[in-house]
Homo-oligomer: A and B are copies of this chain.
Amino acid sequence: REQVYRALGRIAEEGFGMLGLPGELGGENDIPASILVFETLGFGDMSVLVKFGVQFGLFGGSILQLGTEHHHRTWLASVGRLELPGCYAMTEVDHGSNVRDLETEAHWDPEVEGFRIRTPHPGARKDWIGNAALHGRMATVFARLVVEGEDHGVHAFLVPIRDEEGRTMAGVEIEDCGAKVGLHGVDNGRLAFRDVTIPRGHLLDRFGQVTKDGRYESSISSPGRRFFTMLETLVTGRISIAAASVSAAKTGLAIAIRYSADRRQFGPSGKPEMPILGYLSQQRLLLPRLAATYGLHFAVRQLVERMGARSSHEDDPGIETLAAGLKVLASRNAQETLQACREACGGRGYLAENRLGTLRDDTDVFTTFEGANVVLLQLVARSLLSEYRDQMGELDLRGIIRLVSERAGAEVQRRNPIRSRRTGEEHLRDPETHREAFRFREQRLLSSVARRLKHRIDGEMDSFEALNECQDHVVSLGRAHMEAEVLDAFLAGAADAPDEDVRLVLESLAALWALERLEADRAWFLEAGWMEPPQSRALRGLVNRLCGELADQAVPLVDAFGIPDSVLRAPAAFGSGRPGRTREAGPGNGG
């Protein structure tokens, strides 16, 4: 933990913590650059990455986005220089996903013109708070704002938790979360508050203020919408996690593919053994994941650019849905890819020096934090179920569903699936076929979910229960939408390739990804009548063929990630160590 903290200090010294801050505070007002730093850190130690994210992204970001000028001037520069290490204290023991119902309280106290922060019971302790166990001196604490007995919903407050000598402040209780599955360099802790008093100016008051004389004011009248607006701080965090997940998957693939091109096992009788990347099963294990990782790379980069281009916080609200959805797809891809890479390297993959286990264990929690994946996919689906996200803030589904079910039905009828039933390779490889298939699935799922929800709600079922009965369907819709988004980004990325050869390879890779996704969901396409069995079988054959074609390009494709050898490190990526047969062994190669 101390080593990781020192690394964070070095990164801050280089000025990387200041990138996202406004120019007048010495920053560069460049959040996209900050995300790219995060993406690059994702090739290295994940504990350093997470500490970076907590300090500059979550703690700094909450002050930047939920605070106003006073907060910015007072604290941001010292946060960016790591002079004020801090925490982002949202999650509680009893409330991880359902943060709207969290229970920490902030009572307005007119006597002191400030707030008393308190933890009403052990289940309301802040949990999993990065930087809390050791290094944090201040925390952005999310708590219910109570003024004269009236609960105005969750707001964010700056609460000092340690003094400059690192001693815990009076009234604050800090507990170490203890050993974790991974991220051993991150000091996660639990926080409890026994009537800790903070001044009025410590309320991050961009979306809700308390006047000196104790009146509550907000420009957003609905408490639900107000809270969802505050949660937007997580948008940058989710994009960052998506970016880091892509980096982790790239690292795993670089190790496993280079190993598989070198390692030989079995072969035709009387001939030398064959590199294991020549086996269809090994290609099937690695190449679709290589393709997915490229697709996610382009999708994340596009989203980061789109974020940089928007002029204000309220601009381009679609970013929020994309950030949630890409976080889901990228974290799941990292988890599955790293596991596949571990197995692809056999026993070599089980050696700690080859990093695959550590990478998997460190990134494992990416599927959980900054929003559990299954919850976020429902968020994506809900945003599709409504074009009006402020209405979604209220979770009132009835009216919206009626609207959508009518519109989506019409949309699906416009399409003619017969045209898609050809089995010829040219047709199956055509990006327009893929695009059409992905959008057809999204629209069809949207209309059928809407219909099923409407049916239940018309029958007076509670909307919560209705959603739960259709949960698998809702989750499928969220995933289908995100895959369609990734496909668009992938094709755009391929079209932007610097030269013709690269463009052709990227197009093959995009086709492999799209076809493998269609293959994985081919039962649905068969059920929906989008294709017939002959096409479905042709699809499988084509995925195999593309795997074979791309196997030759696999090493250049992972080398193109540009991970320096000294960062990649894993000996398995640098030959088997048998002299004369492969290129030079990497540092520390004992194999």
Whether a CB of chain B sits under 8 angstroms from the CB of A475 is yes
Q: Which residue in B273, B347, B373, B579 is a CB contact (below 8 Å) of A128?
A: B347
Q: Is the CB of A96 within 8 A of B180?
A: no
Interface residues of A in 156-189 (CB under 8 A from B): 175, 177-182
Q: Is the CB of B97 within 8 A of A265?
A: yes
Q: How far is the CA of A188 from the CA of B91 in the complex (A)?
A: 41
Q: Which residue in B280, B472, B540, B579 is a CB contact (below 8 Å) of A122?
A: B579
The 10 closest A-B pairs by CB, nearest first: A181-B357, A179-B352, A523-B523, A280-B471, A268-B464, A123-B578, A527-B533, A522-B523, A526-B526, A98-B266
Interface residues of A in 339-364 (CB under 8 A from B): 339, 342-343, 346-347, 349-353, 356-358, 361, 364
Provide the residues of chain B in CB contact with A95, threshold 8 Å.
265
Q: Which residue in B281, B350, B372 is a CB contact (below 8 Å) of A374?
A: B281
Least Cβ distance of A337 to chain B in Å?
13
Q: Is the CB of B356 within 8 A of A181?
A: yes
Q: How far is the CA of A145 from the CA of B372 in the complex (A)?
A: 57
A: interface residue count bin? 35 or more
Least Cβ distance of A541 to chain B in Å?
10
Whether a CB of chain B sits under 8 angstroms from the CB of A536 is yes
Mask of A580-591 contacts with B, CB within 8 angstroms, 1/0: 000000000011
Whether a CB of chain B sits under 8 angstroms from the CB of A209 is no
Q: Is the CB of A365 within 8 A of B347?
A: yes
A-B contact pairs, 10 of them (CB 8 A): A93-B578, A96-B347, A122-B577, A123-B576, A128-B347, A269-B462, A281-B374, A343-B373, A347-B368, A527-B533
Interface residues of A in 464-498 (CB under 8 A from B): 464-465, 468-469, 471-472, 475
Q: How far is the CA of A369 from the CA of B127 in the complex (A)?
A: 38
Known A335-B339, A529-B533; contact A93-B591, beta-carbon cutoff 8 A: yes
Provide the residues of chain B in CB contact with A97, threshold 8 Å.
265-266, 346
Question: Could you tell me which A residues sit within 8 Å of B by CB distance?
Answer: 91, 93-98, 101, 121-123, 127-128, 175, 177-182, 264-269, 273, 278-281, 284, 335, 339, 342-343, 346-347, 349-353, 356-358, 361, 364-365, 367-369, 372-374, 462, 464-465, 468-469, 471-472, 475, 522-523, 526-527, 529, 533, 536-537, 540, 544, 576-579, 590-591
Q: Which residue in B93, B350, B364, B471 is a CB contact (below 8 Å) of A576?
A: B93
Q: How far is the CA of A177 from the CA of B367 in the complex (A)?
A: 31
Q: How far is the CA of A269 from the CA of B365 in the complex (A)?
A: 29
Known A95-B265, A123-B578, A266-B464; contact A369-B352, beta-carbon cutoff 8 A: no
Q: Is the CB of B346 within 8 A of A368?
A: yes
Least Cβ distance of A232 to chain B in Å?
21
Least Cβ distance of A560 to chain B in Å?
27
